[in-house]
Structure 1
Amino acid sequence: MLAALAGLALAGCATSRSAARFPDIDFATWTDDEPGYRLYPGDEIEVATPTAPELTRTVKVGPDGRVALPLIGDVMAADRSLPDLQTDISKAYSSQLLRPVVEVSLKTAGLKVFVGGEVTSPGAIDMPGDIDALQAVIMAGGFKPGAKTSEVVLIRRGPGGRAMARTIDLSKALKDPSRADRAALRRFDIVYVPRTAAAEAGVYMAQVRDMMPIGFSYSLNNPYGR
């Protein structure tokens, strides 16, 4: 599998802002545009019904991506925007209420990133707030001695659900954190610290996709049929 991913090339002038291109894995072009917020398992929302206040509930999006509401039962919430979910619930209540006014608001958001490769404790990391790639690595126990800190890979879900990837030189951040590109993270980002080649990130990503919440997936072509 590593042989199939060998030969990483960087676009442009090969800076840490460049998009990483992996043979056989169709990563989208990197963009820093912030997509609209979408709900995922672990998020807590309030579903208010002003015309029937007894039905107002604060509920958590379950592992299956659904929320349970009175009268209408389970409604799929994962990977839905707040306005879209509000519309879905209003339609569901239209058969139960004369005036199905619904207001959906976000109460708390489940924030996780995944850190893998040459770190002491790889796996899912709960984000305490805004963190960057170096902080995520430190929370995962720090770099192992064989880590290639100059070619850390950041994988993120891009427009339309397609995966994007770029490399980060965290060796600079270790020397001078104030001047280096430490890469602010977003929920469900994947930070991969390679041993020798950044192309190994493709193998890790094929493995970590199975740990993603229901309703959240990376869309890409890869040689593993996953």
Structure 2
Amino acid sequence: MSPTNPRPSQTDSPTLSAPNAHAGPWRRCLPLAFAVMLFALFAAGCSTTSHQTAAPSPEATPAAPPPAGSPTAAAIAAAPVTPAVAAPAVVPPAPAAGATDLQSTLGVSYRLQEGDTINIKFDATTNLNTITKLQLDGAITLPMVGEVKVIGKTTSELRAELMRQYEKLLKGEEITVSIISVTSCVYLSGAVLRPGRIAMDRPLTLMQGIMEAGGFDHNKAKMSGVTVFRVENGKQKIFKVDMRRVMSGKTTDVFYLKPFDTIHVPERTFNL
């Protein structure tokens, strides 16, 4: 019996299986899926990059340095805080220096005369303040009290008179009287270097008046017999002054001139 070769069965013989009918479409989709994945990754990367570069961080921009001379934060913090204070009270202006000096020059015994300009000041009732130039009649007219005799009084005497007259009208009112200027003239004749009229825009003593006229003519002047003529209340008064005693310091009396005085320096009878 001849050996027979067994016929291989289908299950025993190695055969190549045909591709799965369902695998074909999936394989075809793989490239498309891969492309979609790459596109998604690319879009995510662009979104992240755009978010990171959209606006710079505040820390990325350095602060501008303060201008030269500007206070630093530390200096501002260390600076003391000045508390608010009330506005200072309004202080009335002080009298003009010229008026104060004039009053000092005249002294407390100086008596008001024609041509003087005075300032009458009320401490509270300022609408009554008066500046006036004294006229020949010697009187001034003031609100509420009328006419007041002024010439011949010192400023202290005039103040006392005004305080008395206003006492019942203005309770507790303070009044001051000061001399602002003295404006008039005096006349000189005789043995002076420049006889004639001189302005009297400030208080003048007899000695100062003579100096304004250039001084004595020492070749002629009789200094012991200087005469001052003055008209007061319609009457003439005559004053004799020994200027030798004044110039030698033997007397401390001061003779003040008044407006429109006439000073005569006689000449010596003998040239001694």
Higher relative contact order (CA 8 A, sep 6+): 1
TM-score, with structure 1 as normaliser: 0.49
- When Rg is computed on C-alpha atoms for both structures, the one with the higher figure is 2
